[in-house]
Amino acid sequence: FENQDQIGLSITKEDGTEYAKNELMTFNDGAFTGSLKWYPEGADKSSFVAYYPYTSAGVPTSFTVHADQSDKYGISDFMAASKSEVLPSANSISMVFKHMLTKMVINVTNETHLDISSVVLKGAVPTANIDLATMKVTASESAAAANVTTQQVTKNTTYRAIVVPQTVAFTLAVTTSDNKTLTQRLASTTLVQGGQYSVNVRVLSDDIIVTLSGEIENWTEEGEIGADNTVPFEEHLDENYFLYDEVKYNTVTLANGTIWMAEPLCYLPKGYTPSSDPTADSHIWYPYEIVDGATTALTDNASVKELGYLYDMEAALGKTITESNYNTFEGAQGICPKGWHIPTRIEYFNLVGKTTADADGKTPDNSQNALFYDSGYDGAKIQSLIDAGLNYKFSGT
């Protein structure tokens, strides 16, 4: 505690008599003092209950953390202490205060040339119901979710906030000095009372990446919270299929032992809406056909399942492509299910070898040993992939 910090103290005698209620005590020179005088009758034992921060409205039954903790972090940290069977003494009564809420620490790796303007945690209920008798808190069911602006501990590096224990999937929002805000939804987590959680975030020029790794009474370390990238997924490769976001996709095991999807992907990531206009900048489009020069989007479920959506690289990779990161995505999972990835260049060549379009000199020397290489064609024919079970589909131009 620091000088001038204030707590509220209540004393209940052994017979149930309330001797003091919400007495103001102020911290100075290592101890809390106030106007309360303790005149016990005989050797009666008493129970002490104290809380911080003090409120003149009375012993709190609820507490709301501050929305902007950039300068109100300390008074958002609700703490309480209790001690029973206390006998009169000329000495100070020693009590250990416990954190009743939850601490969030955001560790930032800033890979931009910009300063971080703010780090905000969105989507948590800010009000707790408090039971000092049992030293327990619960999130208020009547309070609406709100945003909490964290306090800067070290510029561009470390931020912290106090939140109410609850089960929550935060959205982390990082704003840079150019007023650009980048967001990432975090994994749903049941926050423990008195626990401390860490969030590690890399701030790029166009994205943030959240990763998992897992003398007041100390916060208990409860691990780390990562991004919420969970999509329902079940593998049944012994039966040549998997379920991804509740859609069944057939798979095929090729002669070289690699396993591939045997039909196009029709997964729609959160936040995207497919467009029926192939010229629209929507990142994902319906499959379409061109008849006599006229383009027709195929928006029915059967066509989407057969032909899949059309994705640009941003949608496929799940990241904005820039001049600084365009060459960092080889083997990326992207929108694929967990454990799968977008094929790499070498995986492509291992199947088809060189093609008639490979005039850039980057064709591997052993491309003629590729699984579907046809020496007469000097490349691979699409029909050979179809015959092997890959079920190649044309769904646009």
pLDDT given at position 345:
79
Residues of the chain with pLDDT under 70: 39-42, 211-218, 221-230, 271, 354-367, 395-397
Q: Look at residue 48 in the predicted model and tell me its pLDDT.
A: 92
Render pLDDT for 119-149 as a digit per residue (tens, 0 to 9). 999 999 999 999 998 999 999 988 999 999 9
Query: What is the reported pLDDT for 52?
Result: 95
- pLDDT (0 to 100) of residue 25: 93
Using alpha carbons only, give the angle 327, 115, 67 rounded to the nearest 5 degrees.
115
The pLDDT, as a whole number, for residue 212 is: 44
Give the pLDDT score at 72. 95
What's the confidence (pLDDT) of residue 329? Answer: 83
Q: What is the pLDDT of residue 214?
A: 34
Q: What CATH number belongs to 6-224?
A: 2.60.40.2630
In the chain, where the domains are located = 6-224, 233-387
- The pLDDT value recorded for residue 218 is 62
